[in-house]
Amino acid sequence: MTARPGLRRSSRILLLDPEGRVFLMDTKAPSSTGEHRWITPGGGVDPGEDHHAAAVRELREETGIVVEDAGPSVWTWDFEVTWDRADHDRGHAEFYVVRTPGFALSDAGWTDDERVDILDSRWWTADELDRTDEPFEPAELPDLVRRFAP
């Protein structure tokens, strides 16, 4: 089985702390191989919603952090999806930067799927991302952290 044709629009948040670390979540990929990868908080843009509104909503749902304004989109990523259980074969993500002094992760807004798919979470430095053998997305993430970290 291969991913079904279609484009998924999403919003992702580079959640940065004062030490210049980015908060990532280890999630299961939509793959029969059991793959996982570290990704930023974020998710799909709902019908009638723009990327900015989706970023604010997804940040609240996935972390419990409430912001009214995620600022402007700072980077876009267009990519092909090759996982065999994905419901789309192409993606377009808009990235936003939100800074926080730290927080207690809340799963109160997680969907049932997120409760299964989110395996772990932690803060990463750009150098740690450069050195790790763990998969993460996008590949440009260390450069983005360096570009936007304090």
Q: Are 47 and 13 in contact (CB under 8 A)?
A: no
Look up residue 2 and give its DSSP letter. -
CB distance 122 to 134 below 8 Å: no
Helix (H, G, I), strand (E, B) or coil at 46: coil
pLDDT computed for residue 60 by the predictor: 96
Instruction: Report d(CA 89, CA 66) in Å as an integer.
Output: 31
**Confidence grade of residue 8 (pLDDT, cut at 50, 70, 90):** confident
pLDDT averaged over the chain? Answer: 92
Query: Does 79 or 52 have the greater pLDDT score?
Result: 52
Look at the domain 7-148 and name its fold. Nucleoside Triphosphate Pyrophosphohydrolase (3.90.79)
- Give residue 6's pLDDT: 86
Domain boundaries, the chain: 7-148
Quickly count: other Cβ atoms within 10 Å of residue 26's Cβ.
Answer: 17
Please indicate whether residue 84 or residue 42 has the higher confidence score (pLDDT): 42
The per-residue pLDDT for 137 is 96
47, two tokens: 């019908």
Mean pLDDT over residues 95-116, rounded?
Answer: 93
How many angstroms separate the CA atoms of 109 and 71, rounded?
22
Within the chain, what is the greatest distance between any pair of CA atoms?
A: 44
Looking at the chain, the whole-number percentage of residues with pLDDT higher than 90 is 75
Q: Give the C-alpha separation, 147 to 19, whole Å.
A: 13
4 pLDDT band (50/70/90 cuts)? low
Ordered DSSP codes for 110-137:
--HHHHHHEEEEEEE-HHHHHH--S-BS
User: Has residue 3 got a pLDDT over 60?
Assistant: no
Nearest Cα to 148, choosing from 103, 93, 94, 99?
99
State residue 130's pLDDT score: 98
The half-sphere exposure of 113 on its side-chain side, counting CA atoms within 13 A, is 6
pTM of the prediction? Answer: 0.93
Residue 100 — pLDDT band, cuts 50, 70, 90? very high
